[in-house]
Amino acid sequence: MAHDLGQNTSGTRMNRLWLYGGLFGTIVYAALLTLAIFRLVQAYRAGEEDAKFEPLVNEQQVMLNLPGSMLLHGEGPRFTTAFGPLDFRLIHHQTGEILPMETIWFKSSKSTMSSVRLSLQGFSVAEPGLYVLQVLGLHPEVNTRGHQLVMTRDTRLESGPKVIAIVLSALGFLGCPTLTILAVIVKP
């Protein structure tokens, strides 16, 4: 009888360790998840800080102040199809050099109740300066009211590891209490 009482105490002690360990792990993963989400939002906003909004017209001059990788977005009313048939060219104003535009395979979007912003193409600016943005395929009969082009800094490379951190933190956040409950319920 005394022997059974000792085993029962050690099982209770083991259950408490699982309970406290699981609680501690849940708190740690909750903090990591919160931090990862905060950092992802921060990276996204950093790209938005230098955003340049331009009307959707056939050709215009654009001053780009920062070198580096940039994204060209189309912004307009929800469910717009105005950007589908368009092609874009960015030309250095002084040299006439055409910057290569890259197809974006993993497109990002941002939407509100009435508008949507879709990433269209990427490009790299070697040096700040004046550029000419040409929109090819824009027909006069197309209603461009409420549509604009937005240029932002490309934050996709910064965002990837943050998204992975969010997924792993969420798994840990959900996994710790689940394992704890299973360890308390299932007795060896």
- Predicted TM-score of the model (pTM): 0.65
Q: Is the pLDDT of residue 171 over 90?
A: yes
Question: Cβ atoms within 10 A of the Cβ of 84, count?
Answer: 10
Q: Is the pLDDT of residue 21 over 60?
A: yes
CA–CA distance, 23 with 19 (Å, rounded to integer): 6
User: pLDDT of 25-45, one tens digit each?
Assistant: 889 999 999 999 998 888 777
Alpha-carbon 137 to chain mean position: 29
- The CATH architecture one would assign to domain 51-154 is Sandwich (2.60)
User: pLDDT of 62-100, one tens digit each?
Assistant: 888 888 888 888 888 888 888 888 889 998 988 889 999
Where along the chain do its domains lie? Answer: 2-44+162-185, 51-154
pLDDT, position 188: 58
